C-alpha cells in the first residue's frame, strides 16, 4: 500500500441529519467486526499510488474497454479531495476489494455508492459486505443516513446480497441506464439497473448489519396466493403470466445470468425484457418490492401501492 491516509472525521455541520454518537459508534464496531471475520483491513484511500491500484483492481474484474473504465484515477483523486469516501480492503497487504462513493442529494443526508468490486479469489469471504458496512459507518459518523446504488436486477447473488444481507430497498427501475458497456461482465446485454436505497439507521438495516438478513418466507407468500408473473420454463427461458391485483407477485431471475450471457445471449436478452416489463412496470406503477427470496424470486406487493400483503416480512 502506498500512502494510505484516513479522511478527517470532522464534526458535520448543523445542516446534516442528526445521528446519535452511540449509533455511529455501534456501526463502526459492527464494521470492524465484519472486516476481521473476512480477514481484511478496510482503509480509506487518497494517495495516488493507492488510487492507481484501485483502478487496476477494477480493470482486472470488469476488463472494460480502454475508453470506458468504471472509474478513472483522475476522478477518484477529485472525489477524495472533495471529501468523498473511497475505501480499499487489504488481505495480507494486498488490495482485494474497493468501494467508491460520493455525496448525493438531498445535500448533507445522502451518499451514492458508485462502484464496489472484489477480486474473484477473495469472493465468498464477505469482503463486499465488509466494505459496505465500513461505508455505512463512515456515513453515519458524518451525519449521513442514506446510501443509494444501482445493480443489475438479473444477477441473483447481487439481488440477495443487496436486498437480503444488507436489507436495502429497490426504489426505481432504470432501463439501459449506462447504455452499452463493453466489458466482459456486461457485454452484449443492455445495462438495466435497480436503484436501491439503504436507510442506514433503520431497524431492518441495523439487524442485517448485525448478521440477521432481511428474509422472505416464500412458502408463506405462496400460501397467501402469490402469483409467479415471471418464472423459468422449459429450456431455461422466462415464462410470463398476467399480474393480478391484490396478491403478491413473484418475479424470477436466472440462476447465473452472466454465464447465460456468454452461452446464449439471445436467451439472456429474453430474461432482460421479461424482468424489465414485470419488475420495472410494477415499480413504475407504485408497487413495492418486499424482498428477494434466496430461491431466486423478487417478491412484489401486488396490492394497491403502499399496501403490503400479510404473508412474509413486509415492513422495513
In the prediction, which pLDDT does 212 show? 97
In the prediction, which pLDDT does 187 show? 60
In the prediction, which pLDDT does 107 show? 87
Calpha distance 114→94 (Å, rounded): 22
pLDDT digits (tens, 9 = 90+) for 188-221: 678 999 999 999 999 999 999 999 999 999 999 9
Q: Do the Cβ atoms of 48 and 5 come closer than 8 Å?
A: no
pTM score of the predicted model: 0.88
Q: Do the Cβ atoms of 164 and 211 come closer than 8 Å?
A: no
Q: Do the Cβ atoms of 301 and 287 come closer than 8 Å?
A: yes
Q: Do the Cβ atoms of 247 and 302 come closer than 8 Å?
A: yes
In the prediction, which pLDDT does 304 show? 43
In the prediction, which pLDDT does 182 show? 66
Which residues fall within 8 angstroms of residue 79, CB to CB, at 6 or more apart? 86, 100, 102
β-strands 41-44, 86-91 pairing: antiparallel
DSSP-derived 3-state class of residue 228: strand
What residue ranges of the chain have pLDDT lower than 50?
Answer: 1-16, 304-315
In the prediction, which pLDDT does 303 show? 59
Helix (H) or strand (E) holding 278: none
Burial class (CB in 10 A: 0-12, 13-18, 19+), 156: buried
CA 77 remoteness from chain centre: 24
In the prediction, which pLDDT does 246 show? 87
* Sole residue written with cell 443487496: 162
Cis peptide before 47, with omega less than 30 degrees from 0? no
Residue 18 DSSP label: P
Amino acid at each position: 500500500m502506498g500512502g494510505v491516509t484516513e479522511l478527517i472525521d470532522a464534526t458535520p455541520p448543523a445542516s446534516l441529519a442528526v445521528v446519535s454518537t452511540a449509533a455511529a459508534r455501534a456501526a463502526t464496531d459492527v464494521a470492524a467486526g465484519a472486516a476481521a471475520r473476512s480477514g481484511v483491513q478496510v482503509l480509506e484511500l487518497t494517495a495516488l499510488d493507492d488510487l492507481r491500484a484501485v483502478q487496476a483492481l477494477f480493470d482486472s474484474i470488469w476488463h472494460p474497454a480502454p475508453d470506458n473504465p468504471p472509474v478513472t484515477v483522475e476522478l477518484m483523486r477529485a472525489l477524495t479531495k472533495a471529501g468523498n469516501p473511497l475505501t480499499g480492503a487489504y488481505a495480507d497487504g494486498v488490495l482485494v476489494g474497493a468501494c467508491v462513493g460520493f455525496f448525493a442529494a438531498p445535500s448533507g443526508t445522502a451518499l451514492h455508492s458508485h462502484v464496489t468490486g472484489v477480486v474473484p479469489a477473495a469472493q465468498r469471504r464477505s469482503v463486499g459486505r465488509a466494505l459496505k458496512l465500513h461505508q455505512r459507518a463512515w456515513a453515519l459518523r458524518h451525519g449521513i443516513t442514506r446510501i443509494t446504488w444501482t445493480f443489475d436486477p438479473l444477477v441473483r447473488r447481487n439481488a440477495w446480497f443487496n436486498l437480503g444481507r444488507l436489507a436495502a430497498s429497490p426504489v426505481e427501475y432504470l432501463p439501459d441506464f449506462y447504455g452499452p458497456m463493453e466489458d466482459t461482465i456486461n457485454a452484449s446485454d443492455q445495462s438495466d439497473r435497480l436503484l436501491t436505497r439503504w436507510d442506514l439507521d433503520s431497524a431492518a438495516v441495523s439487524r442485517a448489519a448485525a448478521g440477521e438478513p432481511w428474509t422472505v418466507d416464500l412458502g408463506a407468500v405462496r400460501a397467501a396466493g402469490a402469483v409467479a408473473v415471471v418464472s423459468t420454463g422449459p429450456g431455461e427461458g422466462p415464462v410470463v403470466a398476467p399480474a393480478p391485483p391484490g396478491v403478491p407477485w413473484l418475479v424470477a431471475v436466472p440462476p447465473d445470468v452472466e454465464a447465460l450471457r456468454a452461452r446464449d445471449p439471445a436467451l439472456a436478452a429474453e430474461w432482460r425484457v421479461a424482468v424489465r416489463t414485470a419488475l420495472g412496470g410494477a415499480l413504475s406503477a407504485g408497487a413495492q418490492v418486499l424482498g428477494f427470496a434466496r430461491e431466486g424470486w423478487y417478491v412484489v406487493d401486488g396490492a394497491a401501492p403502499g399496501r403490503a400483503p400479510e404473508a412474509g416480512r413486509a415492513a422495513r
